[in-house]
Structure 1
């Protein structure tokens, strides 16, 4: 097994380090910063620590590898695939771990497939410094089965999503709505709680509510309940926003939530569900989607 890396930043380094420790002997990498100050020493030290052979061009990486992990910034991923495709060996597995959009992943897959290569959209779902090569990875694309077969002996934690490039990344990007969004929401909440000297009371109250049920149960209750109470809850948030503004606290998250609730209230799902809370969040999503389709027809 011979693995290549295009881009040898932190993610590639952590993957390579773990794989080396689990017996993958042949790893070759290229990074454009290996000859650029002030990053040169960092790239070289990482390569030495992971026992990775650094080469001076991406084409040299592709000469004799079974698979190549392309770990470049999302805004560079498509251009890199165009640059590399003429040098891809037939059957080579091209694994893109960037956070590019599903549309971009599909275009990269087309470039890879044109040269007889197999494509994997790989979404890393945890911190690399903690998990290294065992980080949970969701994978999709026509090269996924081969990728899993090649890397299972080295204990990579790979889960197949589908044969469709972009679907693995879609999971990660959609998950980010919650993970990044809730962190921003917490910042606004805690700033307000601290300003009004009610930190403990607020945190304890929310903890009691959130810890009483599973995430699935809480999410379902909040979404289904909001579907018929969106207007009232948006008005209540208006009071929250006034309070925050009076204390010169940034209320951008509360304002965004208020707008979302107002948009939901305009769909009048209270009438759709005859004032009765639906049983499952999917009913809410389908009702909203149905209204969008109906409006397009009209």
Structure 2
């Protein structure tokens, strides 16, 4: 049974997991985020609004809890695990939900295990906001089965994938080549088509070639995601490139996908939320093109 939890990384995923754990009766004892150093940061404001204690350090945050959820950016995963490790002597479950390469997961597992924590690899297989704690997750590591049993009453959609750390993440990261690649392909394709004034014809052709009930809505959605979350996605794609290279395959496309995600993030940062979340594909394309002029 899991009665007390801590959140490392109080971004979108961390906030959602904290909310849903509390709704299931788990005491979210504390959270830690590097942004807590700034009282005006979104992470600080969200933690205060949720009534979550902002710990002074990762070590302080994990003190005495049964579960640690690590939900930082991909580039910060290993540092966050190492920062929390000195506070894990009481052997809590350490659920690493970050999108990183199998090699990075193994390094994170070593750091957590050295501190006494029970590392559980978690490959999150869909966007978190729609289902929250119920998002499908593949679990890996020797403590995966014990965690699934302890979390049985939390409403989580857990599949024990492998006792070997890294295999679950290999599924997620290889999938990301396609998913994040589709986002940047749609961006480049439709921006150019909009400039030529042929986006309707291009969408119609795509619908014939790759059947989908609403290609315009699909394109709008996948183009909007990197505008909003491109920085995080770019970090993930650089871990994807590492994933691909770890098995001797050259990441010819993964690195440029990361660069285009950064490109989208830079333009999205200059657009109002009403535009990046707009249901109008044409308006979204025009706004991005204006930033690119």
Q: SS where residue 5 of structure 2 aligns?
A: strand
What is the TM-score when the length of structure 1 is the normalising length?
0.63
Please give the per-residue CA displacement for 1:251-293, whole angstroms capped at 9, x wherever unaligned.
Answer: xx9xx9xxxxxxxxxxxxxxxxxxxxxxxxxxxxxxxxxxxxx
The equivalent residue for 1:278 is: none
Structure 1 regions of 5+ residues with no counterpart?
213-252, 257-298
State the 1:179 CA deviation.
1.0
What is the TM-score when the length of structure 2 is the normalising length?
0.64
Residues 52 and 146 (structure 1 numbering): CA distance in 2 closer, same or farther, change over 3 Å?
farther
Q: SS where residue 14 of structure 1 aligns?
A: helix
Count, aligned residues? 213
Structure 2 regions of 5+ residues with no counterpart?
213-252, 257-293
The equivalent residue for 2:11 is: 9
The equivalent residue for 1:134 is: 134
Whose relative contact order is higher, 1 or 2, with alpha carbons under 8 Å and at least 6 apart? Answer: 2
Equivalent residues in 2 for 1:46-57 (5 A)? 46-57=46-57
RMSD over equivalenced CA pairs, Å: 2.6
Residues 206 and 88 (structure 1 numbering): CA distance in 2 closer, same or farther, change over 3 Å?
same
Quote the Cα distance in structure 2 between the aligned partners of 1:151 and 1:48: 26
Equivalent residues in 2 for 1:18-33 (5 A)? 18-33=20-35
Please give the per-residue CA displacement for 1:28-80, whole angstroms capped at 9, x wherever unaligned.
Answer: 212232231531xx334322443423322222222211121122222222233
The structure having more radius of gyration, on CA atoms, is: 1
State the 1:26 CA deviation.
4.1
Q: Is the 8 A contact 2:91 2:116 kept in 1?
A: yes
Quote the Cα distance in structure 2 between the aligned partners of 1:197 and 1:44: 45
Q: SS where residue 159 of structure 2 aligns?
A: strand
Quote the Cα distance in structure 1 between the aligned partners of 2:165 and 2:191: 41
Q: Is the 8 A contact 2:71 2:97 kept in 1?
A: yes
Q: Is the 8 A contact 1:63 1:89 kept in 2?
A: no
Q: Is the 8 A contact 1:72 1:98 kept in 2?
A: yes
State the 1:12 CA deviation.
0.5
